Amino acid sequence: MTLDLRALIRDVPDFPKPGVGFKDITPILASPQAFQETVDLLVAAAPDDIDVVCGMEARGFIFGAPVALALGASFVPVRKSGKLPRDTVETTYDLEYGTQTLAVHSDAIDEGDRVLIVDDVLATGGTVAATADLVRRLGGALVAVDVVMELAFLEPRALLARHGIDVVHTLVGYAE
């Protein structure tokens, strides 16, 4: 199967609030073949020798966990504040429509671990930049970011560049 990801991603206007265009990935998940090919493409884009894959709540979990398995790496869930049961490190950042606090267990990443961040969408870049901050605070080396789609019209790479993130692999880009 040669996947046309763009055809499988639905646009949902005014969600979660008026003026925001939500990209719905559930059609990809509904097709085992499309889901598998998406994971395979993310794995193929990943650098060698990854120790840890971080996926952010909630849709980053969906793609990050199978990518970690395929790479033989550990998976670290990056959660919203208050969702992890042990000692955590947290960071707060701006979203397109508010603020959010992300947390990771304080022992989730070892000093020098080579880390790949995987998410479904790169919008403004805030979630990825916040996750990169957590990775670095725990001593990890952020190697790359793999995303299913990028909303380039929001210029997320400008924010990522300011945070020292320059290796980003995108499967589908949206210019507007």
What are the structural domain ranges in the chain? 48-174
For residue 57, indicate whether it is catalytic.
Answer: no
Separation of alpha carbons 100 and 81, rounded Å: 8
Catalytic residue among 96, 114, 136, 157: 96
Among 10, 37, 57, 59, the one annotated catalytic: 59
CATH class of the domain at 48-174? alpha beta
What pLDDT is stored for residue 1 in this prediction? 53
Q: What is the pLDDT of residue 136?
A: 98
pLDDT at 21: 86
Provide block-wise average pLDDT over 10 residues at a time, the chain (176 residues): 86 90 94 96 96 96 98 98 97 83 98 98 94 98 97 94 94 88
- Considering only CA atoms, which of 20, 18, 150 is closest in space to residue 95? 20
For residue 86, what pLDDT is reported? 97
Q: Which residue has the tokens 């947290």?
A: 90
pTM: 0.95
59 catalytic, yes or no?
yes
